[in-house]
A and B are shown apart, each in its own frame.
Chain A
């Protein structure tokens, strides 16, 4: 009886796993399927995601400052400077509450933010955060291992993997620009939701106070210098960004999944 239950449980688990069919093997990619064209991106479109908002205040930076307000203030400055340089800017929220609440009226989820960014096909996706620890700007790219190209259906939680080389290149350009602006800098990699689900060059930009005073994070001049350095760097980036090659379905070993869980929406 126990073995029977065990077998049933195993069958249920594997029933949803796509298994390559041995009866009709897929032909090699080089023989019949042309390599898909790279994804078209809008070189003058930037997505800005001011993190948190609404009931999600983020971290408490000081007695009077919360993260959601700092990220929104920096996003407004950045949007103004990018628009002045001819960019189109898509923001995931432009008020305290997220821009597009779902049907139930609740706050936009992290996956919802990634969905907005992925549909835009932007040249860069900037996730703005703020913290009370450290000084200057902390730049993070994804911790995922880079893949050779983008599969036909990217797993939702690792969709950024194909874009990691571009994200790291963008991080270097931002780092150089911020260093020139004499802003203290920490660069590293991190796994921050929803960066790993983005299909665009994506960075987390975490703003820390300018000095030991936590409220110095709200300084107009300070935020202006950071936004100027980033906007100037993106002016050069629009001509350098290259979407990753797309991997043919057969070369990726892809077969139609039994369920859409984990695939891009």
Chain B
């Protein structure tokens, strides 16, 4: 004879087993729905709110030392600094693909890109404004540098792009005049083609000035952003 309290415990356990089964089935269905939703979403992860657009990439070829303009459909961020950075990252990602004519190491190449309006100016205190309580001046005035070699804009709205490369990318970059020069010209040409307001480009590595990219290409100078596809192999 089974006692009453034992029957109660038995039926409670049965209820728990059935409840757990229902919960497991529901969670399984939710997981399947989430995976199905991810598979259906083709939007790139780096720009979930943007639509793809036609972008010109100036791709280098080590075999003949040329750079050719190629169009790709890529989603880019709206903000212009992030846009410049994404352009270079996509360019380097192309070179990291198997069979690339200009093979570069995979991974992120750029830490940050900063765009500065040209000419680069300093600021001086406006002595005509009333001083503050601590003796300072309320206003500052932009002051252009008297240095004739200071960076100047060629067109109104011209900008200087400061590209901060990652040392992990630079340290693994192949060494050689041609291969380094092609990387630089490819970056300059791609920026010029897609962000024409960029007139000049400076390179840093981990936030510091560095003499060369991998022993050859100069990283200390300011480069003009220009169409590099027309200045490739000049022939004899």
Contact = CB atoms under 8 A, between A and B. Distances in A.
Q: Secondary structure at chain A's binding surface: helix, strand, loop or mixed?
A: mixed
A10 B122 contact: yes
Nearest to A195: B218
B9 interface: no
A179 B235 CA distance: 10
Contacts of A14: 122, 124, 143, 145-146
B43 to A, nearest CB: 37
Interface residues of B, number: 47
Interface stretch (A100-108, A116-124, A126-134): A126-134
Given A155-B149, A187-B233, A193-B212, A1 B65 contact: no
Contacts of A138: 65, 177-178
A20 B146 CA distance: 8
A246 B176 CA distance: 34
Size class of the contact patch on chain A: 35 or more
Contact of A191 (B134, B175, B221): B221
A67 B221 contact: no
Contacts of A157: 220-221
Given A13-B122, A191-B217, A131 B176 contact: yes
Contact of A131 (B177, B221, B232): B177
B74 to A, nearest CB: 27
A186 B218 contact: no
Interface string B100-136: 0000000000000000000000111100000010111
Interface string B125-163: 100000010111111100101111100000000000000
A192 B174 CA distance: 15
Given A3-B132, A193-B211, A206-B178, A134 B122 contact: no
A189 interface: yes
Contacts of A4: 125, 134-137
11 contacts: A1-B132, A2-B136, A18-B147, A52-B215, A67-B175, A131-B175, A133-B176, A143-B223, A185-B236, A186-B64, A191-B221
Interface of B: 62-65, 122-125, 132, 134-140, 143, 145-149, 174-179, 181, 184, 211-212, 214-218, 220-221, 223-224, 231-236
